Amino acid sequence: MTLSPIQRRRLRNFRANRRGFWSLWIFLVLFGLSLCAEFIANDRPLVVSYQGEWYFPVVETVPETTFGGFLPTEADYRDDFIRDEINGSGWIIWPPIPFHYDTINYKLDHPSPAPPSAVNWLGTDDQGRDVVARLIYGFRISVVFALSLTFFSCLIGVVVGAVQGFYGGKIDLLGQRLVEIWSGLPVLYLLIILSSIVQPNFWWLLIIMLLFSWMQLVDVVRAEFLRARNFEYVRAARALGVSNRAIMFRHMLPNAMVATITFLPFILTGAITALTSLDFLGFGLPPGSPSLGELIAQGKDRSPST
Does one domain contain both 188 and 296?
yes
Q: What is the pLDDT of residue 306?
A: 47
Does one domain contain both 184 and 255?
yes
Q: What is the pLDDT of residue 250?
A: 85
Does one domain contain both 163 and 54?
no
Q: Determine, yes or no, domain membership for 247.
A: yes
What are the residues whose beta carbons fall under 8 Å from the beta carbon of 275, sequence distance 6 or more? 142, 145, 146, 205, 209, 284, 285, 292, 293
End-to-end C-alpha distance for the chain, whole angstroms: 56
Domain-terminating residue out of 98, 114, 145: 98
Q: Give the length of the chain.
A: 306
For 21-34, what is each residue's pLDDT tens digit?
898 899 999 999 99
Does one domain contain both 229 and 177?
yes
Does one domain contain both 71 and 200?
no
Q: Determine, yes or no, domain membership for 236.
A: yes
Does one domain contain both 158 and 248?
yes
What is d(CA 222, CA 217) in angstroms, rounded to the nearest whole number?
8
Amino acid, res. 113: P
Q: Determine, yes or no, domain membership for 215.
A: yes
Does one domain contain both 85 and 141?
no
Does one domain contain both 296 and 206?
yes
Which positions of the chain have pLDDT values less than 70? 1-4, 302-306
What is d(CA 233, CA 52) in angstroms, rounded to the nearest whole number?
71
What is d(CA 61, CA 74) in angstroms, rounded to the nearest whole number?
6
Q: For residue 290, give the CATH number of its domain.
A: 1.10.3720.10
Q: What is the pLDDT of residue 152?
A: 94
Q: Determine, yes or no, domain membership for 84.
A: yes
Q: Determine, yes or no, domain membership for 103.
A: no
Q: Determine, yes or no, domain membership for 245.
A: yes
Q: What is the pLDDT of residue 28?
A: 93
Domain count for the chain, please give it: 2
Which residues lie across from 91 on neighbouring strands?
49
Helix axes 215-228, 253-261, angle to 10 degrees: 140
Does one domain contain both 70 and 140?
no
- Residues 200/285, Cβ–Cβ less than 8 Å: yes
Q: Determine, yes or no, domain membership for 285.
A: yes
Q: Determine, yes or no, domain membership for 7.
A: no
Q: What is the pLDDT of residue 304?
A: 59
Does one domain contain both 163 and 249?
yes
Does one domain contain both 149 and 241?
yes
pTM above 0.85, yes or no: yes
Domain-terminating residue out of 47, 76, 98: 98
Does one domain contain both 265 and 171?
yes
Domain-terminating residue out of 80, 98, 116: 98
Range of the domain at 185: 133-301
